[in-house]
């Protein structure tokens, strides 16, 4: 049963990635993103989806798993953190 499409790879999902502010904690079987973990920050979600899509395409449109999933997730979050000396507060 199709309930939603993945915001990264557009695969048909039999679950809702997000229901309001509650994440499913499910992993997309097509691209490997885990809803509520890799995309936990709503203010960065679109940027994370775009970056994840690029990584998924570069991976031959195969799911990102294990170390690759952790590495891409970490890289995308690192890219979105303000750096020291910027106008934004740095918490890292």
Quick one: pLDDT at residue 80?
60
Neighbours of 55 (CB within 10 A): 21
pLDDT of 88 strictly over 70: no
Q: Which pLDDT tens digit goes with each residue over 7-61?
A: 999 999 999 999 999 999 999 999 999 999 999 889 999 999 999 999 999 999 9
For residues 35 and 48, what is the distance between their CA atoms, to the nearest angstrom?
11
Give the pLDDT band (50/70/90) at residue 74: confident
Answer with the residue of higher pLDDT: 69 or 77: 69
For residues 81 and 20, what is the distance between their CA atoms, to the nearest angstrom?
25
pLDDT of 89 strictly over 80: no
Can you spell out the DSSP letters for 26-72? -B-TTT--BTTTTT--GGGHHHHHHHHHHHHHHTTS----HHHHHHH
Answer with the residue of higher pLDDT: 67 or 81: 67
Select from 70, 85, 83, 84 the least CA-distant residue to 32: 70
């Amino acid at each position: 049963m199709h309930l939603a499409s993945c915001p990264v790879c557009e695969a048909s999902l039999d679950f809702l990635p997000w229901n309001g502010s509650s994440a499913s904690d499910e992993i997309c079987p097509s691209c490997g993103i885990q809803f509520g973990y890799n995309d936990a920050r709503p203010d960065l979600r679109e940027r994370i989806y775009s970056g994840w899509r690029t990584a998924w395409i570069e991976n031959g449109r195969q799911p990102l798993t294990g170390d690759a999933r952790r590495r891409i997730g970490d890289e995308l979050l690192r890219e979105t953190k303000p750096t020291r000396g910027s106008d934004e507060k740095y918490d890292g």
